[in-house]
Homo-oligomer: A and B are copies of this chain.
């Protein structure tokens, strides 16, 4: 359950008077999500999603919200923020910063098919190109510095063999100078968390990408690696070659990879898996106080990395 801040009809009616969205019909809490409060809001005009931010402050939101506005203006499948009558996207309700967006078509899929992976790859590339004209800047708070420091804190919780593997991966990435200021790879705005649960699929089409609150400026190829590691994965942590080829082909139909990107693709897949292995270890061994996270198995991304280590064909 992810309604941390309750909103009543009586509170929402005056709030909505500051918008151009018709009269309130119904409000319903959304169970998904672990960080923010989300409600489906139905009005005489349509169906919307109201988010109350539980951890991000209003002052921290413009990078993400303006990015969503920008992407929406370019026709990228996302839920474009709706402005209130003062022309502001970020409003306030019950002491929390809020955002209203239209409800997107489609639903989350746990087992994407080949066509869906192709469409997600294509939309991701379109998003990377459309965001090139976005002026906001945000460094990645989950970059190499973060995972190196966090891995160091995790070793005591791990078996000697697992800790050695993690340490070797951190070292490997460090040797490859995985740093956005050092690598010769195209950079831009990345979603950085485009897992299956952050996209609504409408049949084989992308209904919309959601949850841009890890978005940042980083290496584009890293975003593709994060996405592929989740969308094309098998239960054992190996990658389904057919889905991977479809996602890469979809992506490259819009933005063909450079020679440097092709060369760094195998190491980038491991970097993307390393970032989530480390964050899952952290959530598992040191859950934040009061956080309602259902800690996910850290071993999953360890297995993803081990399969990448053994791989010789990277579907390009």
Contact B22 A126 (CB under 8 A): yes
Question: Oligomeric state, in number of copies?
Answer: 2
**A133 and B20 in contact (CB under 8 A), knowing A45-B77, A205-B45?**
no
Contact B127 A75 (CB under 8 A): no
**A82 and B77 in contact (CB under 8 A), knowing A122-B22, A133-B87?**
no
Contact A75 B85 (CB under 8 A): no
Which A residues from 26 to 66 make CB contacts under 8 A with B?
Answer: 44-46, 48
Contact A69 B77 (CB under 8 A): no
A23 to B86, CA, bound (A): 37
Contact A126 B73 (CB under 8 A): no
Residues of B within 8 A of A22 (CB): 122, 126
A166 to B58, CA, bound (A): 58
Number of interface residues of A (CB under 8 A): 37
Q: Is A143 an interface residue (CB 8 A)?
A: no
Residues of B within 8 A of A119 (CB): 44
A54 to B45, CA, bound (A): 33
- The one of B74, B77, B253 in contact with A23, judged by C-beta atoms closer than 8 angstroms, is B253
A44 to B85, CA, bound (A): 34
State how many angstroms separate the Cβ of A294 from the closest Cβ of chain B. 33
Q: Is A114 an interface residue (CB 8 A)?
A: no
Q: Is A21 an interface residue (CB 8 A)?
A: yes
Q: Is A192 an interface residue (CB 8 A)?
A: no
State how many angstroms separate the Cβ of A208 from the closest Cβ of chain B. 11
Residues of B within 8 A of A130 (CB): 20, 85
Residues of B within 8 A of A102 (CB): 75
Residues of B within 8 A of A83 (CB): 73-75
Q: Is A76 an interface residue (CB 8 A)?
A: yes
Contact A82 B86 (CB under 8 A): no
Residues of B within 8 A of A77 (CB): 45
Given A20-B76, A21-B75, A22-B126; 12 other pairs, CB 8 A cutoff? A19-B74, A20-B126, A44-B119, A45-B77, A46-B205, A74-B82, A75-B82, A75-B100, A75-B102, A85-B129, A85-B130, A85-B133
Chain A residues in the interface with B (C-beta under 8 A): 19-23, 44-46, 48, 69, 73-77, 80-87, 100, 102, 119, 122-123, 126-127, 129-130, 132-133, 205-206, 253
Subset of 7 A-B contacts with CB under 8 Å = A19-B75, A20-B75, A23-B253, A45-B123, A45-B206, A46-B205, A74-B82
